[in-house]
Structure 1
């Protein structure tokens, strides 16, 4: 397939989400050994919500662009109304509330039979053009690699010096585009069910340090109204305190309305299990953790945010809220097979907690910058 053209997807063009999902199944199975795709319904919901970020999806389609195609908001022909073969795709986000210098979450996928004809490079150049048109000076792109591949003799290391990626096809492609590896992130997995005795032991250890100074509250579903501000503060804390390597990440602007909007998006196609630690004397948020369950693949819940406020560290709150939340997950979703989580390679404290809970390394992911 030597002739192709690039179009931009519109949120109302429904077929693109099923086609993207089919492409993701192929690519994630190839890279990670199994289907790790995002559900089509989640993509539909995600692209229809632009409260804090403009969402972009560009598709490479066979042949030449029709002369009568309507131009979209990114300056490209809009995707046709009728389904077409998708040879490749690039997705990205343009934050609109904070990090206005950034194009984030750039991710390129190309069908195996359509590679080596310039599709991935063409998609990248269009993303770069859009970033420049929107005044974005920094880009963050991602690559995925099975953990076993890191044993290959040739490797690439981030500027932080922590972790490494194999010098495989994905790394070579990123380097050919002029990208620099800024951070290595680890995906770890916890096989379920966790031994209740282990959870009880870890929870008791943490409670001995944290109680009675802190109150713990858990819920399944959207954030209760009385905790919106606390969860917002925890998300802001995460944006400043989580290690970001050599990435140009700035503090995020969070309030209760943003939490409500994110909850609304997340709960269209799934549900969340949450635990919040509150300092009993002041009433301020001290720690928070969230596991999300997608309706499309409830067997593999995802550990999303975990944060502990700086003033409340050293009291085993991270271990306490995570062990409590895993107990809540077991009650809400007893059929889940494993939990996945992602941590920066230099986040030794959180990695230590996860290891004690039983998480084990499964894959590594590269955060590349330009």
Structure 2
């Protein structure tokens, strides 16, 4: 959920220019947008997702991140789903190579096209699937606003520019979220999505072997955890997978915050949550409080994120296939 440091300044400029437009467009969304045009839309999505999660629960994390990665580049308009014959689309950018589950999105789209041809957008499918995989993994539900339309452009460079890297510090994280109209609380809440899924060793191996370029380890990472991670990720290993929330990576829960509080967050961006008083307080609260507010908070922040840069009304299109423009 969190691409490339050299593009950071440009990334902020682009977001600043788009923010006012994003807020205005999001007013076209509403809960139950398809109530008359495709009344069974959400039930159809849920049925396909539940079937997929029953046989491949490991896709829950990637499918949740797919919605994040879509919204953080050009807004929530489905551009992450588009194919390119020259491998120059968003999905071809290095930070998106770990996304999986496109076949689930395609199955959902096929089912919806059979029931209601040309009605439900791929960008709305991403938002609904994100909610339903969280529910399937014993997490919270929330009312998804729908009414998005699909964009026609997908550019690899924009993905590199706009996706916040797992190496981001707290200043970069806060700025990136703020430029999208998301608060510091949204940042720490949505980081909790790392409770689901796995990561390639390459996303954090510098913390184990060469943190400052001198063959050292990250002092903000628990030394005992470093030892465990080195057993799974040998130096130079870019392909092995590690659970982001060990022992609980197929269950949506607040244990992520316990890990972060113990300096066992996998990414620099996880550890960075302890470098700000507001995010640190939230981490401590969710890690130590019975009756955690995390489930409710996550739904609220997901709704806010789902409003970023949407296309509504006559903008964009309703794709017939999610990987192709009409």
Instruction: Please state which structure has a larger fraction of its residues in strand.
Output: 1
Task: Name the structure with the higher helix share.
Answer: 2
**Greater relative contact order (Cα 8 A, min sep 6): structure 1 or 2?**
2
TM tier, smaller: under 0.3
